[in-house]
Amino acid sequence: MDDEIRESILSQIKVIDKALALERNAEIFYRRAAERTESETGRSMFQWLARFENSHQSRLMKKREELHKQGMIAGTLPIDTQLEISEADIRAEIREDISDVDVLRMAIENERRAIAYYEKKFTHAVDDSVGEMFRSMVNDEERHIRILTDQLNSLTIDKIWTDLSALEKDIAEM
């Protein structure tokens, strides 16, 4: 295999490793949000989002393994778990004294950062399947923003969490 192609594949694997770190941090964020909210509806929504971010990690791992095989890279290629993600750092920490409204705002900002990273990467993806995967993930993250924004508006204006059944259409599409 040509060294240039192998280098391109390794570069895409590094992009996926950063995306894995983003999704891992997002899952941690949503699990922590679920633990700290007193709302059962909020807890259910955050747990669902955590599971969804975990499913993104599975997709990314599968694509990473495909690229690893495609590049005919000998042995295993360890995932760099200490990656600096300056391009789209996802905040996973949640202070104890923060309100649910502020947690929702943080979640929306985190989703926007992920979208910015994925959009940048799918436009530069050498492998079409990597680009398609990131496009699909952008669509998912945009739906997350819609759901989070609906909840934020409801909590800010009506002071209540929106019943998740009202969000079933968005959730079903995911």
Place of tokens 């680009």: 131
Quote the pLDDT of residue 111: 96
State the DSSP code for 36. Answer: H
CATH for 3-74+96-173 (1.20.1260.10, 3.20.20.70, 3.30.1960.10, 3.40.50.1820): 1.20.1260.10
Per-residue pLDDT of the chain (174 residues; tens, 9 = 90+): 577 877 888 888 889 999 999 999 999 999 999 999 999 999 999 999 999 999 999 999 999 998 888 765 555 555 554 554 444 466 777 888 899 999 999 999 999 999 999 998 887 777 788 889 999 999 999 999 999 999 999 999 999 998 877 555 555 555
pTM (2 decimals)?
A: 0.85
Quote the CA–CA distance of 126 and 141 in Å, as a whole number: 22
Tokens, residue 103: 């947690």
